[in-house]
Structure 1
Amino acid sequence: MSRWNDLTGGTSGEDYAARFAALARSGKDVHGEARFCAALVPPGARVLDAGCGTGRVMIRLAELGYDCVGVDLDASMLAVARQQAPQLPWFQADLAAFDPDALGVAADFDLVVVAGNVFQLVAEGTVAAVVRSLTGALRPGGLLVSGFGLDEAHLPVPPTLTLGRYEGHCEAAGLTLVDRFATWDADPYEGGGYAVSVHRR
């Protein structure tokens, strides 16, 4: 059972989408993650949105010309994503056991994006398996991009994953750190409660 499911009961898709829709109507920028990814790989690149939720990031990337696939475990979130963009490929799967071949998807993504605190919200003890499975979905030279909170001020649950532990899992999976930022706007990381990490396979 994921920490996300413990938190939401797997029924929060519409509420989650409504919150971001309200932010967008108020003039807030809700596309920072997509803009960040678009600066790393050119249009036409294959992007896996791992823990895609209601599809906010992936739909924007698809609009920008990227070849996208979305994966999430929460059926309520995927229902919203499929309603908003039925033409895009959405899959329900556990990231710790994600197997692109089993879904008929080529494991040669140029970039895997893991936004929305996913690494802090997967099931206890599965972060290493998630990193391994997502690394396996990348082509050689492909990028794993993740952003997650590191303290309670940036998370809906108490943190269980430190940046040091995450880095250890990435190294064990054969990934190399390229850069790290404090925000999706690429502000320099100088410590603090949120980190966006870019690793290369």
Structure 2
Amino acid sequence: MANTGSGPGPITPDGSPVDFYSVLKAGDEPGIVAQVTPPGGSVLELGCGVGRVTHPLVERGFQVVAVDESPEMLARVRGAETVLARVEELRLDRRFDTVMMASQLVNTVDDAVRHALLATCARHVKPGGAVLLQWMPAEAHDRWHVGMGRVDGDVTITMGAVEEVSPGIFHATMRYTYGDDKLWTQSFSSRRLTDDDLAADLAAVRLRLDRFLTEDRTWVLATTGEEAVPFTS
């Protein structure tokens, strides 16, 4: 099933409503990056969107290269070098202290795309550097149900529909509202990966699953195996 989106303003190829993501604030991501990146270090942000995380990273003094396939998204990024590209096709001939890929991109249902995404991470991280992945753990998929979500000020995010369309493959539709009159939807498919699945996929591109960085296990640190990383701030 193709990813789709609806609502006011531009919609990206993966169904993301640009105007909605522009009103979202960064969560814990900047602090997570700071845990594993040297002060003033280089960060490659894969799938940066409108710069929701990019901007606070720049404010913290990191040197950020922000990558996205959507020109509408990249047009809203400030203070960082931007690159218009599909993540799985990226080749910058540069390496970074930290490579970050958020938004559960690794849960794509296309195994070849997952391998290509992780290969992009592997070829752009410095030896001993950090690869930060946001994913949807298996147990989180098991808790999905219609009506779940959160409210953050004027923003409401709700799961409007979810179905396991084949073993381990889920199709869901999210409903996003802002204020009293703006509504968007975003539909997507997601593969239920176990820890062993993720570790094997990382090993296939010569990365190693190091540890989970958050209590809910949605942020993963992977490494090249060489010494380094520890930087808690």
TM-score by length of 2: 0.66
Out of 137-146 and 151-160, give the one that drifted further: 151-160
Q: Which has the higher strand share?
A: 2
| 1:36 alignment counterpart | 32
Contact 2:45 2:101 in 1 (8 A): yes
Q: 1:162, CA displacement in angstroms?
A: 0.8
| 1:13 alignment counterpart | 18
The separation in 2 between residues aligned to 1:122 and 1:60, in whole angstroms, is 31
Mark the structure with the bigger radius of gyration: 2
CA RMSD of aligned residues (A): 2.4
Q: 1:15, CA displacement in angstroms?
A: 2.1
Q: Deviations over 1:86-134 (max 9, x none)?
A: x321111111111013xxxxx2201011112222358663010110121
The separation in 2 between residues aligned to 1:122 and 1:33, in whole angstroms, is 24
| 1:162 alignment counterpart | 193
Within the alignment, does 1:97 sit opposite 2:92 as a pair? no
Q: Deviations over 1:13-36 (max 9, x none)?
A: 122212x1xxx5xxxxx3301111
Aligned residues: 171
Q: Deviations over 1:53-78 (max 9, x none)?
A: 11111211110011110001122221
Task: Give 5+ residue unaligned stretches, structure 2.
Answer: 6-10, 150-171, 175-187, 225-233
Q: Which has the higher helix share?
A: 1
Distance 1:77 1:123, change over 3 A: farther
Contact 1:47 1:67 in 2 (8 A): yes
Contact 1:31 1:60 in 2 (8 A): no
Within the alignment, does 1:197 sit opposite 2:228 as a pair? no
Within the alignment, does 1:54 sit opposite 2:50 as a pair? yes
1:24-173 correspondence runs (5 A): 24=25, 30-81=26-77, 85=78, 87-101=79-93, 107-121=94-108, 125-150=112-137, 151=141, 153=144, 156=174, 157-163=188-194, 164-173=196-205
